[in-house]
């Protein structure tokens, strides 16, 4: 899918996020899931943010969810994104329960956004980096 994004800031790879970025590059969306409290979450961390358990695994998601909230960015807080304005960042509640962030694809769909609108994960590239976005279903 084509996405207007002129450049980007290379994400910081950590031991916790390396698997996530690898799967994003394969066009798959995974989240962490706790075996003890059964909750799922994003962003990646080394233990469950709900019960502090280290008993978790990565699970593949459907990539589908609903819009929880959004913001339209009109002012670039970093010069790397100045040419992208305006763009929309969504918080999406995945069917599996985790909330995750991603750009709205295409960005001009922002005029028809509504809470609880169904969306699906989509992937786009900026340079060699694959990034996560969401498109209306």
Domain count, the chain: 1
**Residues 51, 62: Cα–Cα separation, whole Å:** 25
Structural domain containing residue 41: 18-136
The pLDDT tens digits for 88-97 are 999 999 999 9
Q: Is residue 52 part of a domain?
A: yes
| Tokens of residue 81, six digits | 């994104």
Q: Is residue 1 part of a domain?
A: no
Q: Could you give the C-alpha distances from 17 to 66, 88, 100, in angstroms and in order?
A: 23, 23, 14
Q: Greater confidence, 116 or 9?
A: 116
Using a cut of 0.85, tell me whether the model's pTM lies above it.
yes
Q: Is residue 13 part of a domain?
A: no
**72 CB-near residues (< 8 Å, 6+ apart):** 86, 87, 88, 110
The pLDDT tens digits for 15-41 are 999 999 999 999 999 999 999 999 999
Q: Is residue 45 part of a domain?
A: yes
What is the DSSP pairing of strand 40-41 with strand 129-136?
unpaired
The pLDDT tens digits for 62-83 are 999 999 999 999 999 888 888 8
Q: Is residue 30 part of a domain?
A: yes
| Predicted confidence (pLDDT) at residue 3 exceeds the cutoff of 70 | no
Q: Is residue 47 part of a domain?
A: yes
**Residues 83, 6: Cα–Cα separation, whole Å:** 6
């Amino acid at each position: 899918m084509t996405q207007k994004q002129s450049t980007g800031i290379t994400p910081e790879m950590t031991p916790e996020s390396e698997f996530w970025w690898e799967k994003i590059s394969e066009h798959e969306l995974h989240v962490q899931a706790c075996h003890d409290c059964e909750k799922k979450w994003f962003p990646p961390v080394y233990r469950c943010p709900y019960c502090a358990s280290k008993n978790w695994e990565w699970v593949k998601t459907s990539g589908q969810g609903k819009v929880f909230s959004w913001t339209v960015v009109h002012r670039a807080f970093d010069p790397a994104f100045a040419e992208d304005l305006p763009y929309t960042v969504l918080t999406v509640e995945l069917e599996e329960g985790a909330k995750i962030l991603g750009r709205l694809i295409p960005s001009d769909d922002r005029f028809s956004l509504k809470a609880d609108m169904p969306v699906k994960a989509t992937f786009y590239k900026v340079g060699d980096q694959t990034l996560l976005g969401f498109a209306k279903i």
